[in-house]
Amino acid sequence: MTWPLLDTAVLVLFLLVLARTTAFFAVFPVLGDATVPVRIKAGAAAVVSVLVFGSLPPLAQVPASGLALGLMMAREALAGLLLGTVVRFVFMAAQFAGQAIGVQMGLAAASLYDPSTRETVTVSGRLYHLLAVLLFLGLDLHHPFLAGLGTSFRVLPAGGDILVGAGAVQWTRLSAQVLLLALRLSLPVVGTLLVLDVALGFLARIVPQMNIFLVGFPLKIGVGIAALALGVGAGGRLLRDALERLVMDFHSVMSWMA
């Protein structure tokens, strides 16, 4: 790898590459979590920027002012954020599904602090999020997305005309699938618990002397755990298929911005 002489065009090109890469790693799953120190995120972004920068052609035109450079860096950062947040869609759906299951089971009061998102989540929400992370890393799906980041500098040259608005339109369309995936993940458990609620309601009318709340609370937790254990395999397959489709979604957002 040959390095050009350090001049204004070279420095501007590196700053543009660094802006897109830093924004991408700031929201990328696992590496972009709040538990990862900022120095590791910055170091990873710097290393990848250096590797990508050495293979890029020089800028066709250097910005004439600092304002123009700032606008170009902001556009690169927006492109990186759009590409990085697409990868998080499945993780958002998994945690939302787990949250819905936990609330329906009555575990909302037993919430815990999730350091990766800095939010209070239910136990089932944390479970589904960790399941998505394990599948993401176990299937080596982080490699296609890191390679896709490098490909983006060929499809969307740094400093070139990037249609961020068009990419945002496609990003919005894909984000609508988050709720659908969350519903598909949570439906077996939530549906079972709704049927149990109906049964408990009939039981309360038939036997009014029974303290239905005292009986129903542990019963819902037990049935919910059983349904969760039986449905986690199907949920894992749904998450696996959704994660594999993310690669196509990632490239579709990239193509819309080209």
Residues 43-62 have pLDDT tens digits of: 888 888 888 888 887 776 77
Where are any strands of DSSP class E within the chain?
Answer: 112-114, 119-121
Q: Which of these, 100, 106, 83, lies nearest to 26 by C-alpha position?
A: 83
Cα distances from 139 to residues 79, 135, 247, in angstroms, run: 26, 6, 12
Domain ranges of the chain: 8-257
DSSP state of 121: E
Instruction: For residue 54, give the 3-state DSSP assignment.
Output: coil
Task: Summarize pLDDT for 163-220 with one digit per residue, the tens.
Answer: 888 888 888 888 888 888 999 888 888 888 888 888 888 888 888 777 777 777 888 8
Instruction: For residue 112, give the 3-state DSSP assignment.
Output: strand
Task: Summarize pLDDT for 69-123 with one digit per residue, the tens.
Answer: 888 888 889 999 999 889 888 888 988 888 888 888 877 766 666 666 666 777 8
Query: Quick one: pLDDT band at residue 6, thresholds 50, 70, 90?
Result: low
Cα distances from 166 to residues 70, 158, 170, 171, 254, in angstroms, run: 21, 17, 7, 9, 10
Q: Looking at 5-14, 146-155, 225-234, 244-253, which range is the least confident one? A: 5-14
Burial of 37 (0-12, 13-18, 19+ CB in 10 A): exposed
Which amino acid, one-letter code, is at 38?
V
The whole-model pTM stands at 0.81
Token pair recorded at residue 53: 């920068």
- Answer yes or no: are the C-beta atoms of 123 and 107 closer than 8 Å: yes
CA angle 125, 129, 132 (to 5 degrees): 145
pLDDT at 21: 92
What is Dmax (Cα atoms) for the chain?
87
Q: Please state, rounded to an integer, the average pLDDT across all residues of the chain.
A: 83
